[in-house]
Amino acid sequence: MRAVLDSTTALILCGGRATRMGGVDKPLQAFQGRPLARHVLDRIAPQTGGRVLISANRHLDEYRRFGVPVLTDTLPDFPGPLAGMLAGMTALAEPLTPDGLGSTGAGSTADALGGSGRPTDAVPQWHPGTVAGTDGWTSHPGGDAWLLCVSGDSPWLPTDLAERLAAALPPGRSAAMALGRESPGEPLRSQPLASLIHLGHRQTLAAALRQGERRVEAWLRTLPLALVPFDRPEDDHAFANINDRSELERLQSRV
């Protein structure tokens, strides 16, 4: 487990349209005085030794203020979290250059998808003051790395999410997905945006996107996947996320 955690980087997925919230950039909405994504970052960064990326497609300057590298999709029209996950895997797979993450920037991700990327928008830039620091950043050209994927609108993620997912990986499994509740009393449900995935699945993901797959859980279930219950009392709110303004107000009043 320790080896997995030491080679894990977190990816906070913030690239969606948020249509149910009127198109606002949901992870930037204030929750208890701070952006939702900042709550997520504060919970996740200690779990991965400060190795964190953000996937976003709007308000990039706002996300860069969080002090971690910001990646954009290489597919047009907001194709969903899978595109952000591929951008994260590509950033990990390529050597770090002075101008950004990856020797070829967005190009290799676009190439993997048949050349359909947006290279001008999508070059993942490294910005000063990152959590990891440029000297601490580690790329994994050989592919021996893991990506912890989480949603940017889940402010109460478990502070031991990475550890429990990694500990549950049996031999032969190279991905893990949490099963958790969004509120007390609910049954455990799949939480595809609380998953740990080996970098070796990068090409599998690229192929799925080329074939039109956009559902995170559907793709995860094609992998050697471990399902990890998060059913402790302290996990009751762990996977609460915000889909509309009424949910945001309800969660604001909970604490």
- Spatial CB neighbours of 253, under 8 Å, sequence gap ≥ 6: none
Handedness of CA 231, 233, 236, 238 (dihedral sign): negative
Q: Any binding-site annotation on 33?
A: no
Q: Any binding-site annotation on 15?
A: yes
Least Cα distance to 206 among 125, 115, 139 occurs for 115
- Spatial CB neighbours of 249, under 8 Å, sequence gap ≥ 6: none
**Residue pair 244/187 in contact by the 8 Å Cβ criterion:** no
Both tokens assigned to 174: 């190279």
Place of tokens 């204030």: 30
Q: Any binding-site annotation on 42?
A: no
**Residue pair 64/122 in contact by the 8 Å Cβ criterion:** no
Q: Any binding-site annotation on 13?
A: yes
Q: What is d(CA 212, CA 93) in angstroms, rounded to the nearest whole number?
A: 23
Q: Any binding-site annotation on 26?
A: yes
Query: For the chain, how big is the Rg over CA atoms in Å?
Result: 17
- Spatial CB neighbours of 254, under 8 Å, sequence gap ≥ 6: 237
Q: Any binding-site annotation on 23?
A: no
Q: How far is C-alpha 47 from the geometric centre of its chain's CA atoms? A: 13
* Triad 150, 154, 158: Cα angle to 5°: 75
* Triad 131, 31, 238: Cα angle to 5°: 75
Binding-site positions read 13-15, 26, 73, 153
Binding-site residues for GTP, in ranges, read 13-15, 26, 73, 153
Q: Name the binding residues for Mg(2+).
A: 153
